[in-house]
Structures are given as C-alpha cells and as structure tokens.
Amino acid sequence: MTKIGLEIHCQLTNLKSKLFCSCKANYREFEINENICPICMGLPGSLPRLNQEAVKKATMIAMALNCTTPDKIAFFRKNYFYPDLPKNFQITQLNIYGKTSIGGTGSIIVGDKKIRITRIQLEEDPGRLIYEGSSSKNLITLVDYNRAGTPLVEIVTEPDFENPKQVRDFVNILSDLLENLEVSDPGLDGAMRSDANVSIEGGNKVEIKNIGSFHDLEKAVHFEITRQESLNSRDIQIIQETRHWDDKRKITVSSRSKEEDLDYRYFLEGDIPWIIIDPKTKENLKSNMPESISSKKERYVSKYNIPTQVATVLSSDKFYSDLFEESHTEVTAKEIANIITTDLMGLIDTREKRKESKITATHLKDLADSIQSGKISRNSAKNALYEIVKTGKNLSKVMSELDLGNVSDESELLGIIKAVIFEELKAVEEAKSNPQTINYLVGKVMQKTKGKADPKLTLDLLKKQLK
Ligand SMILES: [Zn+2]
C-alpha cells in the first residue's frame, strides 16, 4: 500500500507586516535585500515583536481545518547554520512542553476520504536562495533576505493519502479554503510550498523536500512512487533518505547534504512570552470567520434552488462567489449562477485573464435583468459578456455597439412572423392541431432574427396569428 504524508508551507500573504518586525509581508515588490531591518536580520540587540494578526489568521486556519486550538502558544528556536536565515536560527513552534503549536489535531474530508491533520505551526519563512547555474553543479549561490521573517503556516498531515490524485484533490480544497478565509493568495509565486513523504509496500519512507508549487507536488509524488516501484521490481532496497525536487528536470534527486540529521537544539524563544489565547478571543474569531465554502454551497442550493453541481463550482472559488454575492437578487440568483459557471468561467480561465478582466458585479446584474426582461437573448448575452470582460463597457453601450438587443418592436416582429407563416404552411397547419409543435415556428423566427427575437413576445404574437 502507498502511504503519502504532506507538510504544506503556506505564506500568510494578506498580512501587512512580517511575523516579528514591521517590514512588509509583501516582499515581492522590493528590490533584492531592500525589505529588511535589524530584527529580521537578527542583528545583536534587536528584539522580535509578534504580529498579533498572524496569530489570529493562523488560528482561523486551524479552526477551518477542524483542529483543536490550544489555550496558550509558545515559540522555539530551531538552530541551524544555513545562509537563508542570517541569525542562524528560525523562530518556529514545537509540541514539547505540551501542545503549544497554533493548531492541534484535526481533519478534513477529501472526496470520501478523511485526511487527518497532525498539527499546524506558525513560523518565519527563511530568505530565498538563488542559484546561478544548474542545481547539481552550482557555481554561485546568492541570497535575498526580503522574504526572511515572512509569516508562514505549516500544515502537517498524517500519511493518509494513497495516491497522487488524493494529494491533488486535497491541495485544491486547501487552496480554495485559504483563499476563502482571506489569509493567503495561493496563486502568488512561492506562496505554497510543500514537502512530502512517500513509502510503498511498507518499505522505507522517503522525504521529498523543496516542492515549489501545488502543481509540482502531484508530479513529485507521482515520480517518487514510480521510482520506488521500479526499484522494488528489480529487488533493489529503497533507502530511507531525503530527496530534493528538481523542478527543471521534474525528478527527485538524492540530497547529499546532512542538514536533516542535524540536532536542531530546539529551545524556548526567550524573547517572546507564551501567548494566551482565551476562549473569548477564540469565540470572536470563530464568529467573524468568512462563511465556509460548504455553507455557501448549501445556501445556494436550498435558498435559490441552484443545482448542486453549479453550487459546488460557484462556492469553491472566492473570486466568483464574491461576484455572485454582490450581484444577485432572489429573482436573478439562478440566472447569474448560470452566466458565471457556463460562460464567464470559460472566458477567464487563468489567473492572468482574471486579473485583466473588466467584469464587475454591476455588469452581471444588468445582464441577468436584461435576459429576464427579454431585452437580450441568452445567446447575445454571451457575446456581450465577451466584450464586457475585454473592455469593461456597460451593457447598454455594448448592446448598441454590437447591435445585440432583442427585436422587441411588435410591428417589426409581426412582419417577420407573417413571413415565416407564409413559408411554413405545413408546420402552421400542424401547430394549429397540435400546439406543442409551435416551438418549431418560434425557432424559425429566431433563425430569421439571428436569435434576437424576444422569445416571449414571439410566442404571444405567433399564438394570436394562429387563432
Ligand atoms: Zn524586518
């Protein structure tokens, strides 16, 4: 049996400052080594100050993953000599004096499988090492400390995954959940990094470090399983080791460094006191948490009668569910859910397109209103949506520029209907005896108007003509 466990490092990208100083958490907008100060550089005499917002956000993540939350948390120094942290230790968490990590055991359902969470830690991100040359033969290593001290949440799971697909489903659910909580933007480069441990057939466990994106995580796990199966089939012993993910060659590579075997000499971080998180604070946090994805989904189904599948897609993506929340009324909910999931999601299917898109809640509201009042057909609405996403122009402007409005002028429509009746004598006779077949004639009118005839008015006028 294959056993896979994960350690997911997730940056709290929506915070203003780093975990222990006032440097910006958004280090990406700085020139190299410009987002630093004596605290995150660990200069002598500097003292860390804990970012309270980071504690709140990390607690929210723990709650959303159904983890226990301790009444007090502690921080520890993990000592290591490596150029990515200039002070030679990382401030992190460890459950040695009781459960003092920000999140205890929890679980989350993925498909029909329960994935257990072992613990959640709040810690500082190290700096970024930049290798010049190929990873196997580095000539120079450069280091950028802008990231050093950025708030990071580490989510550790039990080895409950049995295949790469479950891993992918889990990280998809997790990244939707983090985005919905407004704690992190999983799409930012380097915001989600993982380690995985993989063992097959009860054999030795291999750790894969340094997987830079969720996309690569599934690939890395898949590669490692195949590698171990291939060794097994040739009766070669799988050694317990740490391997690195080489994202250029898309393979795992044995890491010769002995850094994992170091005794990290953990000890309590004396410069940060134990932090009490009292029940009232927890209650406040819980009640102020954004509505969960599953609760949104249930509401969409029960209140608006939106089909479960549509509600699932709509609720799991914060960008779209926000648009939906801002634009819908009780009457237009189903229509807007439909426009978003069948048309809009296809038009802006990447993060880049989403960023460039000019669509607003007002556009969606106008579109749904116009469809429901017969001003525009669903088909033409699709064309209008395309133009709106591209230009951001308001609907009425787009409709007049592209001539997308429905033919709702009674005399104009009557002329077209009369022409259809003249051409379709046989169908007319049939519709007179069997009113069900009138849709064929409606279709002919639609054809003549290129789908722009107001459907309700067309039907009314046709019925009158056939009497
Ligand atoms: Zn700093």
Instruction: Identify the residue with better confidence: 407 or 105.
Output: 105
Q: What is the pLDDT of residue 451?
A: 78
Residues 419-439 pLDDT 10s: 999 998 888 888 888 888 888
Ligand 1 centre to CA of 104 (Å) is 29
Ligand 1 centre to CA of 344 (Å) is 41
Ligand 1 centre to CA of 268 (Å) is 21
Q: What is the pLDDT of residue 94?
A: 92
Ligand 1 centre to CA of 129 (Å) is 18
Ligand 1 centre to CA of 40 (Å) is 4
Residues 314-324 pLDDT 10s: 999 999 999 99
Ligand 1 centre to CA of 149 (Å) is 7
Please, which pLDDT band fits residue 256 given cuts at 50, 70 and 90? Answer: low
Q: What is the pLDDT of residue 377?
A: 85
Mean pLDDT of all residues in 147-163: 97
Ligand 1 centre to CA of 43 (Å) is 10
Share the mean pLDDT of the chain.
92
Ligand 1 centre to CA of 243 (Å) is 32
Ligand 1 centre to CA of 307 (Å) is 49
Q: Which CATH number is associated with domain 410-466?
A: 1.10.10
Domain assignments of the chain as residue spans, ordered by start: 3-284, 291-401, 410-466
- SS3 annotation, the chain: CCEEEEEEEEECCCCCECCCCCCECCHHHCCCCCCCCCCCCCCCCCCCCCCHHHHHHHHHHHHHCCCCCCCEECCEEEECCCCCCCCCEEEECCCCCCCCCCECCEEEEECCEEEEEEEEEEEECCCEEEEECCCCCCCEEEEEHHHCCCEEEEEEECCCECCHHHHHHHHHHHHHHHHHCCCCCCCCCCCEEEEEEEECCCCCCEEEEEECCHHHHHHHHHHHHHHHHHHHHCCCCCCCEEEEEECCCCEEEECCCCHHHCCCCCEECCCCCCEECCHHHHHHHHHCCCCCHHHHHHHHHHHHCCCHHHHHHHHHCHHHHHHHHHHCCCCCHHHHHHHHHHHHHHHCCCHHHHHHCCCCHHHHHHHHHHHHCCCCCHHHHHHHHHHHHHHCCCHHHHHHHCCCCCECCHHHHHHHHHHHHHHCHHHHHHHHHCHHHHHHHHHHHHHHCCCCECHHHHHHHHHHHHC
Ligand 1 centre to CA of 17 (Å) is 9
Task: Evaluate if residue 263 carries a pLDDT over 80.
Answer: no
Please, which pLDDT band fits residue 255 given cuts at 50, 70 and 90? Answer: confident
Ligand 1 centre to CA of 193 (Å) is 22
Residues 284-305 pLDDT 10s: 999 999 999 999 999 999 999 9
Task: Evaluate if residue 262 carries a pLDDT over 90.
Answer: no
Please, which pLDDT band fits residue 260 given cuts at 50, 70 and 90? Answer: low
Residues 372-398 pLDDT 10s: 988 888 888 999 999 999 999 999 999
Ligand 1 centre to CA of 77 (Å) is 17
Task: Evaluate if residue 306 carries a pLDDT over 60.
Answer: yes
Please, which pLDDT band fits residue 280 given cuts at 50, 70 and 90? Answer: very high
Ligand 1 centre to CA of 63 (Å) is 29
